[in-house]
A and B are shown apart, each in its own frame.
Chain A
Amino acid sequence: MTDQTQHTAAGPATTRARRKSQGVLGLRGRDITLMGIVLFLTLAAPFILNPFPATSGMAQFNAGYPDLMQRFVIFGIFAIGFNILFGLTGYLSFGHAAFLGVGSYSAVWMFKLLGYNIVPGLVLSVIVAGLFSLVIGYISLRRSGIYFSILTLAFAQMSFALAYSVLTPITNGETGLQVYTSDPQYLQSADAPSIPHLFGLEMRATETLRLGGWSFDLNFGYYVCAVVMVLAFYLAIRIFRSPFGMMLRAVKSNQQRMNYTGLNSRPYTLAAFVISGMYAGLAGGLMASMDPLAGAERMQWTASGEVVLMTILGGAGTLIGPVLGAGLIKYFENIFSKINDGVLHQWFAFMPDGIEDLLVGIVHPFVGKGWHLTLGLLFMLVVIFLPGGLVEGGQRIASVFRRDRKAGGAEARAAAKRNVE
């Protein structure tokens, strides 16, 4: 929803005028490619994520079921927003889950009061998360570095504790907020479905497409989230390339110098904080739209830690990194955690028995319930060896190939370095 307001604020006329000089929709060169990749990935996700026939043994690696795909894009939005704060300004917030939770609560309240149409819910979740982040950001941004992290952490933990205890009338405490039949739902018309919908189209409506052994689920809710994420991504590109984004980078590289040149950095960082909070609220609202339930555990600091992991894993400060990171972590969470000993034995069945058992024994701690261990190790390796995340890894590999092909390897390396920066 932020996307639309921002977009129209720029004015359709100016956009059209720019289109000639600046490429498509104000995007240029590489950005068009990136936008295209994201567009393609999100729209074709139900097909790409189901590469194996439904009946084959590999079907467990299929991730193309609606619930998981929705989570991919929702967390993608969350991570894109987080990256606008952390990737550009370098301010590491450990409390972003609070905004996600607030977004969820507001959306569910809209369902309770107005009806199951998701539009009011999403609008309110963005607005409320924006206001909430404005307050928290205004206070937290008075400090920087580790103090900022601790302040955001403290605020988020406070919100979590309050949502669990005192604010029970609003949040329904441990049970979680949900919609009851006794709720007023003033705008709910008689013929509208009594689950979340967009002007009558149900979120969980799913068309299953069967092609030979393959089956693909085309879920309406997923496509709603996907469209929102594409818009969110577009807005993120525009922010990254705008003078405002440049200011945020200046904050990261040398805030002191920026202050000495007479610029006050506070409004810029606060704006970035609020924007990323609104993204988180949007993600929370979408989460509630897919499943009309909101619980306090969404606000806990481990949830904030998760979005940090996603952003770093993918590549903080890069455009596509957070989306990749979110997808990767959610994929691992669901697919890795499903692999049990039986599956492992199947994989290694071709080995002699002794070696089979040994291999299963070695792999066992890292899959199934132990997938967090894999995540932790992966995360550590990325922070140690690839501070730029997977995107940097990809660029390094690409530059190696380029160096092989032509003599001007140094050039490629310099280009890769520039991209990382």
Chain B
Amino acid sequence: MDAIFLQILNGLDKGSAYALIALGLTLIFGTLGVVNFAHGALFMIGAFCAVTLSRLLSLSFTTIDETRTDFLGNPMKVETPYAEWLFGPEFGAAIIDWTVPLSILFAIPVMLVVGLVMERGLIKHFYKRPHADQILVTFGLAIVLQEVIKYFYGANPIPTPAPELFRGSFDFGALLGFEANAVIYPIWRAVYFIFSLTVIAAVFGFLQFTTFGMVVRAGMADRETVGLLGIDIDKRFTIMFGIAAAVAGLAGVMYTPINPPNYHMGMDFLVLSFVVVVVGGMGSLPGAVLAGFLLGILESFASTAWAINLVPGINQIIIYLVAIVVLLTRPRGLMGRKGVMEE
């Protein structure tokens, strides 16, 4: 029982990332009808927002402390980050420690702008072109974005630690009445899961309970009629693209402590996220979220020794296997609507 619980927990963090990326992909596909192969790159850019902020905050100046000496007997050089100098030593240190959560504030505007520029500058011209063209141009864009990041940040993964408070693991099993030390889970992964639930809830709430969201939903259902009613639906869809980019970016920001970001992390996640979207059903937001968590958990169950003994290599292929079975038996995906992309 506790083993099952542990595997579910293990699947949640990857599942959260899948769900967030797939949610953004589906938002873009559902509103603009564009298959965005550059979405993984947006996830990666989000992660590098956190890296950028952490570099900015750790910019420091050097002063010479006459009272102390280093091991050679020279006066000690002390590096003080500007953040500590600006906000005082204690608060400054706290800011540096909390870089990753703070990056959320930094990443949202950046990702919104990136998304808007991408949509207005490039994607806009591809609405009338075939899906293959959209895939190809966004695939090219993904390569370009990835190479730009590589040029500025290098090819090596950049470790970006979580705040002190959330490092280490916690015995979640004890909390729920299992034996002590049976279910130990890294705290940050739990934070990531809760964070992703919050973001997902925010996106759904935004679509469900605001006028803007209502118009967008109406546009998703019937774009022409909404246009006939005198609503500039294109503008709203553009904003939705920005929001989708921000969701992918946030997923990336918070993922940095789990997996040090490198320039090809986007491509690694992209393929899986597409599989997730297709399994969930093209254009279905709840489907994307459900499939994201489901596949994350399935993947973690497939990685147990028991499953690998049963079917060797199952942990490597489970997601693709599920995708193939779903596509062939239930072409619309788990929760896909009728008539969406059913050529």
Contacts and interface: CB of A to CB of B under 8 A. Distances in A.
Answer yes or no: do A and B interact.
Answer: yes
B327 A372 contact: no
Interface stretch (A75-83, A274-282, A373-381): A373-381
B118 to A, nearest CB: 12
Contact of A145 (B137, B140, B343): B343
Contacts of A153: 271, 274-275
Interface string B113-144: 00000000010010001011101110111111
A142 B343 CA distance: 11
A166 interface: yes
A164 B328 contact: no
A154 B320 contact: yes
User: Which one of A164, A165, A312, A376 has the highest number of Cβ atoms from chain B below 10 Å of its Cβ?
Assistant: A376
B146 to A, nearest CB: 8
Contacts, number: 107
Contacts of B131: 145-146
B59 interface: no
Contact of B331 (A143, A167, A375, A379): A143
A155 B271 CA distance: 12
Contacts of B50: none
A155 B324 contact: yes
Nearest to A365: B151
B137 A92 contact: no
B131, B136, B274, B321, most chain A CB atoms within 10 A: B136
A154 B275 contact: yes
Q: Range of interface residues on chain A? A: 35 or more
B341 interface: yes
A384 interface: yes
Given A153-B271, A154-B320, A372 B137 contact: no
B144 A161 contact: no
Q: How large is the interface on B (under 10, 10 to 19, 20 to 34, 35 or more residues)?
A: 35 or more
Contacts of A394: none
A335 interface: no
A380 B145 CA distance: 12
Given A166-B312, A380-B140, A158 B327 contact: no
B320 A155 contact: yes
Given A90-B132, A165-B313, A144 B320 contact: no
A166 B313 contact: yes
Interface of B, secondary structure class, is helix
A387 interface: yes
Contacts of A167: 313
B135 A92 contact: yes
A157 interface: yes
Contacts of B162: none
A383 B147 CA distance: 19
B148 A373 contact: yes
Contacts of B331: 143, 147
A271 interface: no
A373 B142 CA distance: 10
A149 interface: yes
B278 interface: yes
A139 interface: yes
Interface in A199-224: none
Nearest to A308: B136
B119 to A, nearest CB: 15
A144 B341 CA distance: 10
Interface string B308-343: 000011001100110110011001000000000101
A90 B143 CA distance: 23
A305 interface: yes
Contacts of B328: 139, 142-143
A161 B313 contact: yes
B313 A144 contact: no
B35 interface: yes
A167 B129 CA distance: 41
A162 interface: yes
A139 B143 contact: no
A137 to B, nearest CB: 13
Between B148, B341, B343, the greatest number of chain A beta carbons within 10 A of the residue's beta carbon is seen for B343
Contact of A158 (B141, B278, B312, B321): B321
Given A146-B131, A151-B327, A373-B144, A158 B317 contact: yes
Contacts of A165: 312-313, 316
In the complex, which of the residues B122, B129, B137 has the most CB atoms of chain A within 10 Å of its own CB atom? B137
B267 interface: yes
A146 B313 contact: no
A387 B130 CA distance: 11
Contact of B327 (A143, A376, A377, A383): A143
Choose among B131, B148, B317 the residue with the greatest number of A CB atoms under 10 Å from its CB.
B317
B7 to A, nearest CB: 20
A145 B274 contact: no
A302 interface: yes
A295 B328 CA distance: 30
A370 interface: yes
A273 interface: no
A108 B150 CA distance: 35
B35 A373 contact: no
Interface in B196-253: none
Contacts of A416: none
A301 interface: yes
B317 A145 contact: no
Contacts of B150: 370
Contacts of B297: none
Contacts of B45: none
Contact of A147 (B278, B316, B321): B278
Contacts of A39: none
21 contacts: A92-B132, A145-B341, A147-B327, A147-B341, A150-B274, A150-B278, A153-B271, A155-B324, A158-B321, A161-B316, A162-B317, A165-B316, A166-B312, A166-B316, A308-B139, A370-B151, A373-B143, A375-B143, A376-B142, A379-B139, A380-B140
Given A150-B274, A165-B316, 19 more contacts: A143-B328, A145-B341, A149-B135, A150-B278, A151-B323, A153-B275, A154-B275, A154-B324, A158-B317, A161-B313, A166-B316, A365-B151, A372-B143, A376-B140, A376-B143, A383-B133, A383-B137, A384-B122, A384-B125
Ranked nearest first, the 3 interchain pairs of A and B with the lowest CB-CB distance are A166-B313, A376-B143, A161-B316
